[in-house]
Amino acid sequence: MSLAIAKSKLPMEFIQELYMDFNERNADKILLGMLDERNTTLRVNTLKTNNKAIKQVLKELNIEYEQVYFYEDAFIIKNKKEKDLQNLEIYKNGSIYIQSLSSMLPPLILNPQPGDNVLDLTASPGSKTTQMSALMQNKGYILANEIDKIRCDKLRYNIKMQGAQNVEIINEDGRKISKDVKEKFDKVLLDVPCSGEGRFLINKPKTYLNWSKKQVLELSNMQKELFESGYNALKRGGTLVYSTCTLNKIENENIIDWAIKKLGAEILNINIKLNELTKVSTKGLDKDVEKAIKILPSKNMEGFFVCLLKKPK
């Protein structure tokens, strides 16, 4: 498939916005990254096993893999699809978790430690919650919130399956819960509901058929409300990661600019080297927004935005 086909299939307004937010080279690169299905990727659940044991199982089953250069507990699977892995015993017993590489970045960047108090404000299905629990070695406390009842049940199932015992699950509106937990948490993960542009795949219309500029604007309002709630729940001197799986400035750079000016948040540098990284757009925004990272979609990565912030003491 060519760029022309990609442009003909995706919403016209999305294409226009894409070429406004990015230079032509990167916009073309994004569309090319949406043409093919992505490789299946997984994370070793270190609460139950280790990557040496999982490597051995994969070799015995003739499953070709590549260890991820920025995360030793993550693997790119070369010759199997997600549905094939779901039939394996190591999947059924929770020893591995199928997760996109981009989705693994926010917990790595937040870097929760054993003994920390952590809030995961919009937690379902639990990919990042269970990853944080593993990073914390099941020590400390994670409050995992999900507003949707059905998605909350999915979260509860994954938490149990992965053996994440330091997690408490609640089914509340994330925009309101900070009233009860004001300045309680050392770290907050704010992976907000978004328009999902980084997950678009040309051959899967359901990934982009519901996209609209109106939806983007509505989501950005909710993202600000969630951000304020998460920020209020954060202790002074604590850190917060804001992340989305979308590409536009409205849900990403503009939200961070708002957080700096409205809430007084400080933006911290993210020290990670990725092949898919591109500079964020700071035109008309606070210059510190450039410390956030934006990941272009590729064969191995979904498009993603991540920013690390600190609440001043």
pLDDT of residue 62: 97
Residue 3 inside a domain? The answer is no
Domain count, the chain: 1
- What is the residue type of 278? T
Mean pLDDT of 121-148: 98
Residue 237 inside a domain? The answer is yes
Burial class (CB in 10 A: 0-12, 13-18, 19+), 196: buried
Residue 250 inside a domain? The answer is yes
Give per-residue pLDDT as tens, 268-307.
Answer: 999 988 888 888 888 899 999 999 999 999 999 999 999 9
Provide the percentage of residues in the chain whose pLDDT is more than 70: 100
Rounded CA separation 284/287 (Å): 9
Full domain range(s) for residue 136: 10-22+102-310
pLDDT of residue 6: 87
Residue 130 inside a domain? The answer is yes
pLDDT of residue 281: 83
Average pLDDT, the chain: 96
CATH number of the domain at 204, please.
3.40.50.150
Give per-residue pLDDT as tens, 11-34.
Answer: 999 999 999 999 999 999 999 999
Nearest residue to 80 (alpha-carbon basis) of 70, 94, 68, 91:
91
Give per-residue pLDDT as tens, 182-222.
Answer: 999 999 999 999 999 999 999 999 999 999 999 999 999 99
Mean pLDDT of 238-265: 98
Among the listed residues 152, 194, 245, 307, the single catalytic one is 245
Residue 28 inside a domain? The answer is no
Rounded CA separation 95/6 (Å): 37
In the structure, what pLDDT confidence band is assigned to residue 1 with cuts at 50, 70 and 90?
Answer: low
In the structure, what pLDDT confidence band is assigned to residue 101 with cuts at 50, 70 and 90?
Answer: very high
Rounded CA separation 102/272 (Å): 12
Helix (H, G, I), strand (E, B) or coil at 70: coil
Rounded CA separation 168/108 (Å): 21
Contacts of 36 (CB under 8 A, 6+ apart): 201, 299
Residue 71 inside a domain? The answer is no
Nearest residue to 101 (alpha-carbon basis) of 41, 55, 50:
41
Q: Catalytic site residue 307?
A: no
Residue 302 inside a domain? The answer is yes
Greater pLDDT, 59 or 1? 59
**Residues 234, 238, 240: CA angle, nearest 5 degrees:** 70
Mean pLDDT of 77-106: 97
Residue 14 inside a domain? The answer is yes
Q: Are strands 117-120 and 65-67 parallel, antiparallel or unpaired?
A: unpaired
Per the listing, tokens 């699977």 go with: 77
Mean pLDDT of 241-252: 98
Give per-residue pLDDT as tens, 148-185.
Answer: 999 999 999 999 999 999 999 999 999 999 988 999 99
Nearest residue to 251 (alpha-carbon basis) of 215, 202, 275:
215
Give per-residue pLDDT as tens, 222-244.
Answer: 999 999 999 999 999 999 999 99
- What is the residue type of 97? Y
What's the helix, strand, coil split of the chain in %, to 5? 40, 20, 40
